[in-house]
Every structure is written in C-alpha cells, then in structure tokens.
Amino acid sequence: MEAIVSSFPVYFDYQVQFTHGLFTKENFLLAEVIQQSIARPSKLLFVVEQEVADSHPMLPTAINDYCQYHGLRQCGPVLFIAGGEAIKNDSRQLQQIYQAINEHSICRHSYIVAVGGGALLDMVGFAAATAHRGIRLIRVPTTVLAQADSGVGVKNAINYFNKKNFLGCFAPPYAVLNDFDFLSSLNLRDWRAGMAEAVKVALIKDAEFFYYLQQQAQALSQRDLPSMQHLIQRCAALHVAHISGNGDPFEFGSSRPLDFGHWAAHKLEHLTTHRLRHGEAVAIGLALDSTYSYLAGYLAQSDWQQILTTLQDLGFALYAPELSQQLENLDHPLNIFHGLREFQEHLGGELTIMLLEKIGQGKEVHAVDIAVFQQAIALLREQSCKQVPEILSN
C-alpha cells in the first residue's frame, strides 16, 4: 500500500545579546525583544535564582519598575528558586514553575524570563519547553559558564534516576540576554570555573582564541572584566555557530564535538558528589583527554604542555583523586571509565569521543585504549603533586 512520506524543515532563530544593567529603565533591550501587541500585551513570568536575588537585593524591585516603565505585563510576583545542580534532581522545583504557568495562564505566546545560572536555566527551560508544548523562554544567564556556554545553546534538562540530564528536550530559547553586571557578584571559584568551556571550544575550533586565553590567563584568573567579556563573547559565538552551522543542531547523529573532555567530567561530578563544579570537572576532563591525545600520538608534546599550563594559569586543578579510585577494576561502578559507557548510552549510537590533533583542531575516534587512559591519569596525578590545587582550597 502506498506510503505517506512527511518531510519538512522547522526554522528556529534566536539572538544572544550582551549588555550592562539589563533591568535599568534606560536599557531598552528586554522591552525591544518582547513582541508587544497593543490589543493584547504579552505576559511575562519572571523566575530568579535565590542566590542571585540575595546578591542583588534591589533586583525584584528593578524588575517590577522596569516592567511598569516599559508597559510590560508582568504576571504575579517574581518567583524565587534555589540554584545549583541539586534543583535538577528535585521535581518540586519543576512543579512550582508549572504551577505558576497554570495560575497566571501563561500561554505559548507569553514569555518566561529566567535569571540565574546554568542549572536554573536548564530546569526552567524544561518547564517552558513542555508546558503547552513550548512557551517562549528568555534566558538571562548570570554566571560565566551560562553566559559563555550552557545558556546560549538549545538544550534543557533535569536529572532523573540520579542521572544527569536524563530528561530533557531540544528547545531553542526565544532570546538570551547576557548582562555582564551579574558577574561582579560571582565568587572567585565560579568566576574561574566558567572558563573551562572556553578553553574547550578554543582547543577544538579556534587556535587564535586559545592563544588569547593563554596570554590573558593571569588577568582572567584575577577577575579582569574586559578580558572576561571578550572570553564570553567569543565562546558564545563559537558555541552558537557550531549549533547553527553543523547541520545537526538537535543531535540526531552520533557526533558531539562540543563534548570534548565531557565523558570524564560528567562522571567526575557524580563521583565527587558535586564537590567539583561542572567547569572544574571539565578542566580535568580536558587535561585527561589532551594527555591521552598526546600519549596516543595524535597531539604534539608542546601543544599538550601549553594546554596543561594554560589550564593551571587559569586557576584549574588538573587532577582529582576520584580519577584513580578502583582504576584497575573496570567493572566497579566507581571506576572512571564507567563514564565512557554512560556517555555512549545517553547519546546513543556508536561511541564517539573527541580528541585533539593540534590546538584548534579536534579529531573524533570511535574506540579508545583504556591502558593509555590509565597512563594519562598516572601522569596527571604525578603532575598534580608538584602543585597545590589552589581552586579546591577555595
């Protein structure tokens, strides 16, 4: 019998904007992003991370005043939600968002404005993507990591069965508004941790950007804001260009270049029960996969050394003891290499791991040699004994 074939493109577009003082009255950015109709003003629901509100006590008032001044229809009071990865494990936070959407009749043409770090944006994004099959989401990332990386992409997720991002969907935001002023209230540890994804994307895509990071490493690590603004803009641009330009924004295939260093990072976050920040775990993952790339003969020694030095200059540790636990016992759930299997399972399809050929140029492989990885871990452990891992003492 004759089959019906359905084939169609869906067009997505969104903008990532950079600003200061997003909620000051004279800043028209948010007001301009909202599609207003005079007959039926769009509704806005604001969700703000509690820690951000604590650091910026005038923020809720500023939001109210901003909406009033620009004629935006704010629904209900600002909703405060805790931040951090733990909220992605707890469905009550998600339900609180659904509740507000229902209570204020937030529809598919209304806006949810989420202000916070990556975990909050992930969780609110999942609520927005699944209520009424998708409400417009405006992300206002407040951390280096979220402004440069996680907040500018097309993913959202919560954790389930104790597995990171087990539930989620691909749903591009309506807009991302990066306000650099939020960075002033970050503690040093979060300031630094966010830079790991910039090193990652530089290593696989942009040698020039890597050399910028190398040269500015001390300044960046010491909270130089202009350097950080450049880091965020370049990292976000590379991330977004990858999504738009790689032909597989919703990851139907197996290739995942942006996950360079991430198989070990995800497992390390879990093994350290989040003692390590995501960025700190990524930095160790980058060190590990770069070292493997060197030992496997893909990467020149000088490139490898520059990578490790730059990571250290940015304030990152290159090693955590959890890398070595049960190292010979491959079947043990606390063995780091379990992360390879979990990584493959989450992504599906063939194992595909990004390694490095040179600075600025990745190389995908479909098989790895565990013995060489064990050697890489030994090298990093040795190296770490020579240096106090400053970032972990914060």
The single-letter DSSP state of residue 366 is S
If one asks whether residue 3 binds a second copy (CB under 8 A), the answer comes out as yes
SS3 at position 72: coil
If one asks whether residue 150 binds a second copy (CB under 8 A), the answer comes out as no
User: Where is 369: in which H helix or E strand?
Assistant: none
CB of 172 or CB of 315, closer to a second copy: 172
Chain positions 236 to 265 lying near a second copy, rule: CB under 8 A, are 236-237, 240, 243-245, 249-251, 254
Chain positions 82 to 121 lying near a second copy, rule: CB under 8 A, are 98, 102, 105, 107-110
CB of 102 or CB of 394, closer to a second copy: 102
Calculate the dihedral angle through the C-alpha atoms of 283, 286, 287, 288, rounding to the nearest 10 degrees: 120
Tokens of 345: 């399972």
Stretch that binds a second copy, among 65-73, 117-125, 199-207, 235-243 (CB under 8 A): 235-243
Stretch that binds a second copy, among 3-11, 61-69, 116-124, 209-217 (CB under 8 A): 3-11
> Which of 104, 109, 92 lies closest to 45 in space, CA to CA?
104
Residue with tokens 């993913």: 155
Residue partners of 382: CB distance under 8 A and separation at least 6: none
What's the longest Cα–Cα distance across the chain? 71
The single-letter DSSP state of residue 187 is -
State how beta strands 353-358 and 361-365 pair: antiparallel
Tell me how far, at minimum, the Cβ of 151 lies from a second copy, in Å. Answer: 12
If one asks whether residue 289 binds a second copy (CB under 8 A), the answer comes out as no
Tell me how far, at minimum, the Cβ of 250 lies from a second copy, in Å. Answer: 5
Residue with tokens 């500015």: 216
Site string for a second copy, 195-224 (x = CB under 8 A): ------------------------------
Residue with tokens 């004759």: 2
Q: What are phi and psi of 367, to 5 degrees?
A: -150, 150
If one asks whether residue 5 binds a second copy (CB under 8 A), the answer comes out as yes
Query: 32, 54, 208, 345: which one contacts a second copy (CB under 8 A)?
Result: 345
Chain residues binding a second copy by CB under 8 A are 1-19, 37, 40, 98, 102, 105, 107-110, 129-135, 152, 155, 157, 160-161, 163, 165-172, 233, 236-237, 240, 243-245, 249-251, 254, 344-350
